[in-house]
Structure 1
Amino acid sequence: MWSFLLFTLVSSDCVKSNYFTECSASLTRDIIVAGSSDCGKEYPKIYPSQDCTFPCGPGTYLDITEGAMSCLPCQSGTYSIGGGEILGGDGESWESSLSKVISECYINVDDIDYYNLNCTGWTQSDNILISGETTKGYTYTAGLSFSFSIVKQGTVTVTYRKDTVHLNGYKVGFFSIFLNLEMKHFDDEIDDSTWKTITLPLDPGNYEFYLEYRTMKSAKNIEPHAYVSEIRVIGTDWSSTHCHPCKRGGNLPGSSKCDLCDFNYYWDGFDCKTCPNDKYSLKGSVGEESCQPRLECTENDYKHIYSNCTNSSRNLTYQWKEPILCAYQNYTLPSGKYNLSCETCKQGHFIEKTGDVTKCVACPDGKYISNDTNNKCENCTAGYYALKIYNYSDWTELPENFTTNCIMTDGTVCLDSSGWIPSTYYLTTGKNLQSHSEVFLNRYFDIESNFGIIKFEYEFINFQGGSLDAYVDGAWSGGWSQSDFQTGTISLTQGLHYVQWTYWPNSTNSEEIRIYSIKIHGSIEGGAKLCAKCLDGSYSTSGSAICSLCSPGNSSNTDNTGCIPCQNYYYSPIEGSKCYKCPSGTISNNNRTNCIATDYTYLSDETFYLGNITGRGVTEGVYTTGICDMPSSKLYCHQTFYGPLPGDKKNFYVSVMNPSQIVLPSVSYYFKPTSAFAYAVMEKKELTKFKEGSSDVCKNDKAVVSLGSIVSGVNRVREGLKIDYSQGDYCDKYQRTYNSSLLLYCDKSANIGWPAHNNTRHCFYEFVWKTKYGCPVCMFEDMNTIYSSCENGKRTYKKIEGSYCILPFDGDIEWTEPCWDPVLFSWPMLVAGILIGILLLSALVSLLMYVKYHKGYRQLEDQSRNIS
């Protein structure tokens, strides 16, 4: 075998070449230097047992001369990464690299994974990897894995993009990267127009790399895919043994990457060459055939330059736009114009004169200039602020701080477009773009007001189904695909934001998009033509550029000139918020920053007694009375919280509408300490996948996370009483917050009971407390009645708790009423009573008969006397 190898090396061209054997256990290897007979008879040479750990940095390669190893710079047109491998992209093509990785897929049916069944894995096309296919209705996962060893501090870099959509209120389309089974990157952002590059650090050791894309195909998500352009691993060797050739552009010697050839140049495989004078090329062109005949110049190829306005006039000259792509040799720029009228100032600007020179200047902060012609900036009145507006409508050239570019779906530069083109009166994407291309317009906007708005006017020309999307800080903000003249709107919060407009042509055709104006409200740019009223929760004094925020517990007065405390039963939880009404069954706390429980919670026609489980006493935020006073409970009460409550591999602490800050030994807050109603103690690695780049303030692996800082609802449910907590700490990159709920389940058999974790959903935790305090207070008609026997003419009545209600106090409700002895109503007494009644009735009848006959006898007696 050695003789065959040496024969092959000797028979090669007259080029000195190095060949390296594998490193041995002692970290040594042989280096073979070969060359043809024209290079000298001493070749081939073998240098045994050379040190494998000899380091060469990026841009260099390992060489050996006269037995000594050295690091030589890569030649122009080549590059190195200093010891590593590149799959796809600028390295080995995916067609060749697929043999080095394991591609798999699986579907999930009824919580069971079926591998490589009814699905396809990753495939390559145009030197990118594309996730496979499955049938509708299944959760589909495409996995890609390979192993490597790192011998020095290194990195793994993945360039990818993926489809993520909203389906039925949930995100679908997750991209994850694992190293040795530990998740290192998770992405569910809806920003699939952007190629992303994620770099992960690597310590020396062995690694199992696993990449997966999980999605679901449906009628609303017809062809979801993820795309991988390149996987670059640095650190698999101490040095590069050769330099990679540049495929699309050259560079200087000693480079770690390839640079594209500039406009009007092309890459010939060794150098950037100039196109012939009658031809042009775009940046990144490869081969002389990419030089295209220059087209006839138009007014869009040059720009107009105005001089300062001196003595009420100005001059106009013309210059070529760079780079010059048209046939400028055959075109003469227009002659200059002189003594032209000075420009009309934009909104919010006034004319400033210095000697003979006048110019338009924006009004100072806090001032505005109305549409009248007095040329004077005035203060905004208290309660209002000067809202700055700036309108970009002159597209002679791309305005300052705007950038533009065009890339293909595989991440390479477009060959027929360099981005949006300024055309004097509008920006245009141009026509006949390549399919699978994307044209970007980018800019940072600094919003100084409490909020900002971007309004832009656009139009599709020859609409063919393309789309225009906007992204703010990498997250999708809106999309437009209507053919007629339209106005798009992008909303921004206070602060610095990166905004991207992206055009996706549906296919190669004559479609183009034109943007006629971009107007920004509330940024640091431009001047103010009007004063805007401060929002509720903020205020201003006269001459303000922004509105100040009211402190928690306060909100702005009716004219927004100052702050006043929230009324009772209202609260303001954060800076700059208005006063919100507390949910039913709660009252506002002393400083009006939150809502808390009372001993009795009143909900429409029902009342709940919570005094024994809220723990509220005289001092807010302190547990002073209630079940935690019992010896059996004290060990599981912390400040105003019950816990720890285990569940979902975490520990929880929950209060009953009695917020405070929890203090736990050796565990710090992941975010800043805050008052809350519920907390979780979580593993920090579980949190960092959503909050990349956050400062690591904890010394251990756990952190305290708020699960709700306000009471957002107190509601009667069939099982008892449900309390909702919301606005906890941030849960993910989209600033969704943790929320939780506590169900006080009516269960008198549990007596006091104890809370427990019941369920977990993304960013939401549910707790259930089976307790008698989940039952409403008994109304009189809900109670059962018992009574005593009649003694001494009196009976005792007593009301006791019903089956599904409680009494909030010890003792019973009882009273007495008069009654008769039951002996009077026995059978003998009834018979005697009847007989007595009969005798009395007979006596009465006899008396009446006697009276009747006695009266008749007297009448006869009187008649007898009269006759006689």
Structure 2
Amino acid sequence: MLKFAVILFLFGPSFQVDLPTCQQGDYHFEYTECDSDGGRWRVQVPKKPNSCTGGAPHPAVRGKSCDFTCDKGQYLDITGDQECKHCQAGTFSLGDGIRFENWDKIPEGFTSTAESFSFHHFEMGEGEEEDTVNCSSNAFTAKGSYLSVTPGDCNAQLTYSVNLVKTGSILFEFQYPEESEGSALFHFTIQNDQCESDFRHSHNNQWPVKTKSGAWGHISTKLNKGLNVLKWRVVGIGSHRSKQTNTPVLIRKIEVKGVGFTSVCAQCKSGTYSSEGSEICTPCKPNTYSLTGADMCKPCDLATEYSYEGASVCTKRPPCTKDDYYQIQLPCVHGKTQKSFEWIQPQICRKDVPESIQLPGNTDAEDCPPCNPGMFLSKTAGCQFCPDDQMSDGKTPCQKCPASTSPDFNLEMNWFNTMPNNMSSECVLFSDDTCKYNSSWMPMGDHLVTHFGRSEDAYLLLMQTVSGFRTAESMDHRQIVGTVSFEFSTQCTGRCEFVFLVEYDGKSEVQKEWSSSKPKTHFSFDVSKSGPMTFSWAFQRSYIGHLNSGHVAENDLARMYSIKITNSLDGGAVGCKKCPKGVVDNRCVPCPAGHYIDVHSNSTTCEACPPNTIIRRTNAWGKDNCVECGQGLKASAAGDKCVTDCTFTDKSGKLYDFTKLNKIMFVKGSNLFTGSGTKYYHGFNISLCGGDKMVTCTQNVSSPEKSTSESKFSESAPVKGVVCRSTIIPSTDQQKSLSTQPTSLGDYIDKIVTNKSLVEMYKKEGYPTEDSEKDIHFYSKSEDSTDACPDGRNTIISLKCDQKMEEDGEIVFPPKCVYGTCDGCNFHLLWKTVYACPKCAKEDFVKIVGECVDGSQNIHYTKPDHCIGEPPAIETQKCAIKLPFIVKVVVPPVVALGLILLICVIYCWQRNKNLEYKYMKLTHQNEPTYDGELPGVDSCGLSDGEEDQFDSVQFKTSRGSKILNKIRGKRSDKDDENPFETGRSEKIPLT
């Protein structure tokens, strides 16, 4: 095999098949590269390589200068006289430009790539590669009328290189839906032939602004002469970690000017036409069609065929069905109204075939439904809102409220005879500008209902705009300024979608989403911002069959029964409410902060909430509106919010002082890189204790080319709270770093807890679990909910005692969740700092007693490892006598033994005393018996349990006995002198 390869290499030319001689028809003209004089040559070269050889091409001719261009609608006749000529009918030319709007495939000259990226832990100081991600489904893909890319954890890039002969421009149209926020970055850059971008000029580095659902934005910017490398890049941000469904980014048209000239005019695509010398092709009108390169559109057979604007074929008209007409409510006339029916326009069905349904006639006249609350029936203009100082239930004329009451302003809609003036309906397609039919929400008297055109796949939007609310919002967004409540139902064959959205400051967020059929359902949403808002309800029918080859379910529909917006600036008064503090300008003077209106009191008074509770709405009726503050927080002096003084005492009495951490902290997230070098990271602004030190995240990304109407939806208001996050795109010039996608991760502090084990969370996120039960956890919450986070976002900042840290310490992201979150809704940061250690109490310090010097000694205190604080000052005390250790050991037992002996002696002495007395008594009783004396005793002791008796016994004696007693008394006196005499005269009993 090797020998054959060598022979083929050496003798290959001799094996070539003989090629025919080139004829004149085998050549075409081309220009050479520009020379140093700015000119070029026109030469003839074979049309196909290796198709012929030799021949006699025309000699080279000096061509047009390199900066020569033709006007719009012209081309350069390079084969003839090298002059500009008009394009023929059915073709078009931009003159010095080129346009791409047909995306059946990626056009020649474009390159579409997708690559995964790695992240860099800034706190570790070294890179750590993430698991490889399959990016095949995240590249730019041709979808016929547009290019589409679905954001993922990849860098999707579309590249186009063009060489301009003069200063030119580029214009492209795109969709970067608001739903993509938080999941993707869209970036457009212009590089030179060295693949370098000059960021000193903003037009070379642009971040397209978000567009509303179904709307198309555009960017137009200049291009420099020479080679320009155009790059569109979509970078996913943690998409696979989030529950959010990613919305694709679309590019519809790309137009580049400054390319010099075109030698051939481009043919008009099917569905369009052009006349001679045209710059663009014009779409065919409805009920006409055209093929590629058409100079005019041909009509369809109106009786049997129809077509939409820009059609390439005519479609057969189907028989009319109930889906081809809709019902409307006629205006009230003299208190009566009727239901009427109209064909959907444009009408595409046939009425002249037997199987066709005919348009129903008007219904019988019926009484008009009442007006909505807060409105009255005008004789000339229908239902109108009552004046500001009056109210109505919709059935009765407007009337003023009684004294000491105020009108209760609401925007309440229960009847839909016509579409309310402050409400609108819109049909949204993602690939075209407008829907082909007049699909919309239709008023049906007691409800609104969706009505789609035949087989139309679109979202039907119902939009309600309010000018604002009558109560100012609070800084932490916990104050409720109003409530939106509505009642709806859906009837679906498969998985349809019904979505509730809120738009504020140009930012639209999904608050709640329902799928499949739903019975009559009530939903309520608390509003915490007082500015203008738009509330939207979107419905999309379900698919039957495969997503790409199936069709929408024709019978799917949604109904809206009622909408109520309380405390709004729009609308009328639906009733009157008592005002405990009086009325000013038709409004109740609000109760003091922290007070509620006692509904059980006949006088309707303002009552203070219980201790450590707050009120979240003004003029709150009932004690149930008092909300208890979270653990570790206390009610402010005004009683309107829960606050912390940046100290905390746990259940064991340990005191923590975080006042030195009460500052605005910025934390830089992990660096993210793409293979092309694009770098970005998440920046977190944190205010640990909140209060007056609230943080702000802003967006400074904007498009240099945008209209006033577009700017309304592209500029995002600053986000304020205790924790917020922005996506930062650093620049070589630190003053020009870009910040985008500001998001609140915590509007207020919800609670502060400790001794709560989060071991499982620590393990899941990769944090060390040692001593985690001692950490202090600050919980903060953001009330803004999305479809991905229906309960809002929550952030936990865990403070860990680490005495090795200096100053503010270090804030660490979860090792296993480098974005600070593992699910996109719950964020967790670990703050290692010495200020997270408890304050030392005096008993916590170790006491060290010094030596005795001159009768006194010093007492020192040393700080333990588990707490912080300065030890007490050195104390001095007098020296105490210091006994030897053996003495300290022996003395206590000796003293105890001495006490025992003393007790025994006392006991024995007392016992002997009793015995002596008894003995003396016995000897006295055993003396010789005389008249009246008692007999002797047999024992000198007491029996067991017997007590001494000292009762005296008296005997009545005769006169003779008294004389004998006197004589005995004299003897006794003599016996007292000799106690032993009695013993000698003692009588001893014989028995």
Shift in Å, 1:341: 6.7
The answer on 1:146 being equivalent to 2:164 is no
Question: 1:4-83 to 2 correspondence within 5 Å?
Answer: 7=25, 48-52=63-67, 54=69, 56=71, 60-62=73-75, 78=92, 80=94, 83=97
Shift in Å, 1:596: 6.7
CA distance change for structure 1 residues 648 and 496 in 2, over 3 Å: closer, same or farther?
Answer: same
The answer on 1:101 being equivalent to 2:102 is no
The answer on 1:206 being equivalent to 2:235 is no
- Structure 2 match to 1:804: 866
Shift in Å, 1:387: 1.5
CA distance change for structure 1 residues 722 and 185 in 2, over 3 Å: closer, same or farther?
Answer: farther
The answer on 1:607 being equivalent to 2:654 is yes
Which 10-residue stretch deviates more, 145-154 or 565-574? 565-574
The separation in 2 between residues aligned to 1:831 and 1:328, in whole angstroms, is: 122
For 1:806-830, what per-residue CA distance to the aligned partner results, in whole angstroms no more than 9, with x for missing partners? 5566326898898784489289999
Question: 1:343-742 to 2 correspondence within 5 Å?
Answer: 343-348=368-373, 349-353=375-379, 359-365=382-388, 367-370=390-393, 372=395, 374-379=396-401, 382=405, 385-390=408-413, 393=416, 401-404=424-427, 419=439, 426-429=449-452, 433=455, 438-448=457-467, 450=469, 451=482, 453=484, 455=486, 457=488, 459-460=490-491, 463-468=493-498, 475-483=509-517, 486-487=520-521, 494-496=532-534, 500-506=538-544, 507-508=550-551, 511-517=554-560, 519-522=562-565, 528=572, 530-531=574-575, 543=586, 554=593, 557-558=596-597, 601-608=648-655, 610=657, 613=660, 641=663, 657=689, 685=729, 701=737, 711-716=749-754, 718=771, 722=776, 724=778
CA distance change for structure 1 residues 749 and 230 in 2, over 3 Å: closer, same or farther?
Answer: closer
- Structure 2 match to 1:619: none
- Structure 2 match to 1:13: none
Q: Give the aligned residue type for 1:292.
A: K
The separation in 2 between residues aligned to 1:339 and 1:732, in whole angstroms, is: 46
Shift in Å, 1:279: 2.7
Shift in Å, 1:217: 11
Answer yes or no: is the 8 Å Cα contact 1:78–1:255 preserved in 2: yes
Report the RMSD for the aligned CA atoms in angstroms.
7.2
Q: Give the aligned residue type for 1:604.
A: K
Identity of aligned residues (%): 11
Paired positions, count: 773
For 1:96-153, what per-residue CA distance to the aligned partner results, in whole angstroms no more than 9, with x for missing partners? 54x74244555989934658799896665657667799xxxxx864734424247445
- Which of 767, 771, 774 aligns to 2:837? It is 774
Which 10-residue stretch deviates more, 383-392 or 590-599? 590-599
Q: Give the aligned residue type for 2:801.
A: C
- Structure 1 match to 2:819: 761
Matched position secondary structure for 1:309: coil
- Structure 2 match to 1:266: 289
Given the two structures, how large is their TM-score scaled by the length of structure 2?
A: 0.57
- Structure 2 match to 1:626: none
Question: 1:320-359 to 2 correspondence within 5 Å?
Answer: 322-327=345-350, 343-348=368-373, 349-353=375-379, 359=382
Answer yes or no: is the 8 Å Cα contact 1:106–1:119 preserved in 2: no
CA distance change for structure 1 residues 326 and 454 in 2, over 3 Å: closer, same or farther?
Answer: farther
Specify which structure has the higher proportion of strand: 1
Answer yes or no: is the 8 Å Cα contact 2:173–2:253 preserved in 1: yes
- Which of 258, 280, 283 aligns to 2:308? It is 283
Shift in Å, 1:94: 0.6
Answer yes or no: is the 8 Å Cα contact 2:323–2:453 preserved in 1: no
Q: Give the aligned residue type for 1:514.
A: L
The separation in 2 between residues aligned to 1:472 and 1:254, in whole angstroms, is: 49
The separation in 2 between residues aligned to 1:859 and 1:488, in whole angstroms, is: 117
Highest RCO, 1 vs 2 (Cα 8 Å, sep ≥ 6) = 2
CA distance change for structure 1 residues 194 and 606 in 2, over 3 Å: closer, same or farther?
Answer: farther
The answer on 1:293 being equivalent to 2:313 is no
Answer yes or no: is the 8 Å Cα contact 1:456–1:515 preserved in 2: no
The separation in 2 between residues aligned to 1:211 and 1:246, in whole angstroms, is: 28
- Structure 2 match to 1:91: 102
For 1:507-565, what per-residue CA distance to the aligned partner results, in whole angstroms no more than 9, with x for missing partners? 33764223455644339999658349899xx9986756xx9999xx9567537999999
- Larger CA Rg, structure 1 vs 2: 2
Shift in Å, 1:446: 1.0
Q: Give the aligned residue type for 1:607.
A: K
Matched position secondary structure for 2:597: coil
The separation in 1 between residues aligned to 2:900 and 2:538, in whole angstroms, is: 110
User: Unpaired runs of 5+ in structure 2?
Assistant: 1-18, 45-57, 120-127, 198-204, 470-481, 545-549, 672-680, 702-714, 756-770, 822-826, 924-977
Matched position secondary structure for 1:438: coil
Answer yes or no: is the 8 Å Cα contact 2:324–2:453 preserved in 1: no
Answer yes or no: is the 8 Å Cα contact 1:457–1:517 preserved in 2: yes
- Structure 1 match to 2:944: none
- Structure 2 match to 1:691: none
Shift in Å, 1:308: 7.7
Answer yes or no: is the 8 Å Cα contact 2:329–2:444 preserved in 1: no
The separation in 2 between residues aligned to 1:807 and 1:398, in whole angstroms, is: 67
The separation in 2 between residues aligned to 1:252 and 1:576, in whole angstroms, is: 70
